[in-house]
Amino acid sequence: MEAVPRMPMIWLDLKEAGEFQFSPAVRQFILKNYGENPDNYNEQMKKLETLRQSAVNVTRDFEGCSTLRKYFGQLHYLQSRVPMGPGQEASVPISWTEIFSGKTVTHDDISYEQACVLYNLGALHSMLGAMDNRVSEEGMKVSCTHFQCSAGAFSYLRDHFSHNFSVDMSHQILNLNINLMLGQAQECLLEKSMLDNRKSFLVARISAQVVDYYKEACRALENTETASMLGKIQKDWKKLVQMKIYYFAAIAHLHMGKQAEEQQKYGEIILCSFGAQKTFRMTLVRLPLLCWYIQGQPDSVQEALKFTMDVIGGKFNSAKKDNDFIYHETVPSLETLTSVKGAPLVKALPVNPTDPTVTGPDLFAKLVPMAAHEASSLYSEEKAKLLRDIMAKIESKNETLEQFMDSLGLEAESVDNLEMYSHIPPILMEKCAALSVRPDTVKSLIQSMQVLSGVFTDVESSLREIRDVLEEDEAAERGLQQGGGPTAADVHGAAQALAEIWRDLEKYMEAHEKASFTNTELHRAMNLHISNLRLLGGPLESLREALPQPQLGEEDVAGLQTMKRILGKVQEMREQRSSLEKQLRDLIQQDDITSTLVTSERADIKQIFEEQLKKYEQVKVYIEQNLSAQENILKALTEANVQYALVRKGLSQTEQQWNSTVQGLVGSYEAYEDLMKKSQEGKEFYDDLEAKASRLLERAKALCQTRDEERKPFLEKETQKKPPARPTAAKPTLKPKTSDVDQGFSSLDDPELAQLSAAILALGGD
């Protein structure tokens, strides 16, 4: 059997409503108690009247269900603002026709209007559920949902409204309706389960639950009080319900037999099949009234029942034959047949009169009683108290966490920095790329250094030569004076000119000495930066090898990974805590239950607060779990830090070296232009100094030459007076200055020339 044959469904008729208008009573109450002009609510009153007309003349479709729910919700909103109960100042008589007796019942209570609308909602859902033929899978789902919605409407009516309004709203009748609707919903589910080839044991339990629901309904139908309320419809319903009880009991037995077959318990197959056959025969044979009822059903129903009987009988005969000839298992007695426990897989779908997606916007939302404002204020204080308590816990934990992290001096990014050593920093890559298009950088810098060194040497040589010329002149002058000769005449201010030359020389020497220090530092800087520039301009692999690398063992790496993981947990905990705190604040800020308070009784305020505050329970639980986890995380962090301490020290040193090396390389690149500029400035300085020194040398030579000419006659006379000098061997420690003159003089044999040469040497002349 792919699915059980379709059985007829029970549905309920709709109640009829009499004429009723809200306007007079409601308008008068608004004016008296709210102090507002009722004309401001003419549009709302018109919408409510139109909605009632649609509800009492509801269409037999899903849109009709929506209309009834919307009208029921608007009545719920209205009665919380306008007292329309029995004996209250805005109450008006409301009339509806009783469903079974056809009598008109009137009550001056708006709750009666709501109860009747709710009854019609359940009845309409039952109609729609019974109308669908349930041939397709979607049809089965829709019918099942309609019957569950019907049961939900009757359950709400039973639990929230008076049972004395009318006979059709008595406790017995509503219980009967609820069980009928749940039984039919479970019946739809059974059909789909068999169509989907669910396990036999599950199908048997679903079918058994159908039987349980119908048994409850049958007990209500057999009650004399209920029977008197229902009238003639009671007999028809009872016949159909009893037939379904036996029918679905047989289906349950049949599938228990299939379960036994799957488990290869062939004796139980016969027993279960016999139980199904026996139950079904009770339906067709032992209940003449049911047979009469069945005969009045459509041919499709009678054919379905005959088909089911054939299946059960065939299953029994086949199982008995197989057991007699093959398995020879003992067939247990019928009394030992295990009863199947039902599986209730359907439920009454609840009615929510304040669901805005169903009822739409509250037509009288602007009418808020003072009591609702006061209650809303009290609820805000409850929310604030809840937030303060939670924030105090969060702040305490945050403070502890920050103090602990400060004491360790750890951050996740400081631990997870090994990646930086695996590649060349972007800033160095930029410098390498820039040098790649300037391949002559190092060569140009070296050439500039060489040029500067050459000019420096030339200047130093010129200044030394000037000094030597002046010192020789001074030596010659001292020699003449020591020999008793006169001082050279001051021809044309020669002494003053000589003093000026000495001053210029000292000035140039001082400038050269200062520039010499600067030049030395510049050369040192050039040598340092040239090495770095060559590294930046060379292969990238060489540059990578030149950068410091951490030296870590396997234990160090493991400790590092552990610390990294735990610090990640700390950060995750922080982010989650911040997110939960924001979520809680947003929920509290957006939580406005004024409309709920308007539609609630004052006596229920405390209970409402408790119910409404439950919406924060889940967030509170998450926050508590987050705060509780902190202790374990910090404990693990402390243990990991012991192993990480030495690794951290080594990594810190390596990082300092890395940063220093990178900064040095970047500094060398950035210093290149400055070095070139300074070397050019140095060259220009020495070129200028060289020109000045050359001119000063010429002046010194000219002046000293003149003074030599003036001293020459006196030197000749002095030489004639003295005997020839006795030749002596040169001292080994002295190295006479070799010059062209010296060489010339050393080759002469004339005693007088020898004496003249000695005198010239003694005076320091050329």
pLDDT tens readout for residues 80-99 = 788 888 888 888 899 999 98
Q: How far apart, in whole angstroms, are the C-alpha atoms of residue 59 and residue 67?
A: 9
Cα angle 581, 585, 590 (rounded to 5 degrees) comes to 150
Instruction: Look at residues 523, 497, 484 and name the one whose alpha carbon lies nearest to residue 759.
Output: 484
pLDDT at 209: 93
Q: Do domains 1-169 and 198-347 have the same CATH topology?
A: yes
Confidence of residue 314 (pLDDT cuts 50, 70, 90): low
Q: How far apart, in whole angstroms, are the C-alpha atoms of residue 316 and residue 274?
A: 6
Q: How far apart, in whole angstroms, are the C-alpha atoms of residue 207 and residue 343?
A: 8
Residue 169 backbone dihedrals phi, psi, to 5 degrees: -115, 15
The tens digit of pLDDT for each residue in 632-670 reads 988 888 877 777 666 666 666 666 766 777 787 777 777
Average pLDDT, the chain: 75
DSSP count for the chain of H helices, then E strands: 25, 2
pLDDT at 316: 57
Q: Give the CATH fold of the 1-169 domain.
A: 1.25.40
Tokens of 206: 């679903």
Q: How far apart, in whole angstroms, are the C-alpha atoms of residue 707 and residue 479?
A: 13
* 86-100, 317-331, 416-430, 533-547: least confidently modelled range: 317-331
The tens digit of pLDDT for each residue in 527-570 reads 777 777 777 777 777 777 777 666 666 666 676 777 788 888 88
Q: How far apart, in whole angstroms, are the C-alpha atoms of residue 750 and residue 758?
A: 12
In this model, does residue 275 exceed pLDDT 50?
no
Residue 576 backbone dihedrals phi, psi, to 5 degrees: -65, -40
Q: How far apart, in whole angstroms, are the C-alpha atoms of residue 48 and residue 73?
A: 11
| Full-model pTM | 0.56
Residue 96 backbone dihedrals phi, psi, to 5 degrees: -140, 155
Any idea what DSSP says for residue 41? G
Q: How far apart, in whole angstroms, are the C-alpha atoms of residue 682 and residue 453?
A: 10
Tokens of 696: 């000063």
Q: Where are the domains of the chain?
A: 1-169, 198-347, 368-721, 723-766
Strand partners, 96: 17, 105
In this model, does residue 341 exceed pLDDT 50?
yes
Confidence of residue 238 (pLDDT cuts 50, 70, 90): confident
CATH 1.25.40.280 holds for 198-347: yes
Q: Which string of DSSP letters, residue by residue, matches 392-404?
A: HHHHHHHHHHHHH
* Cβ(409)–Cβ(637) below 8 Å: no
> Which whole number is the average pLDDT over 374-382?
80
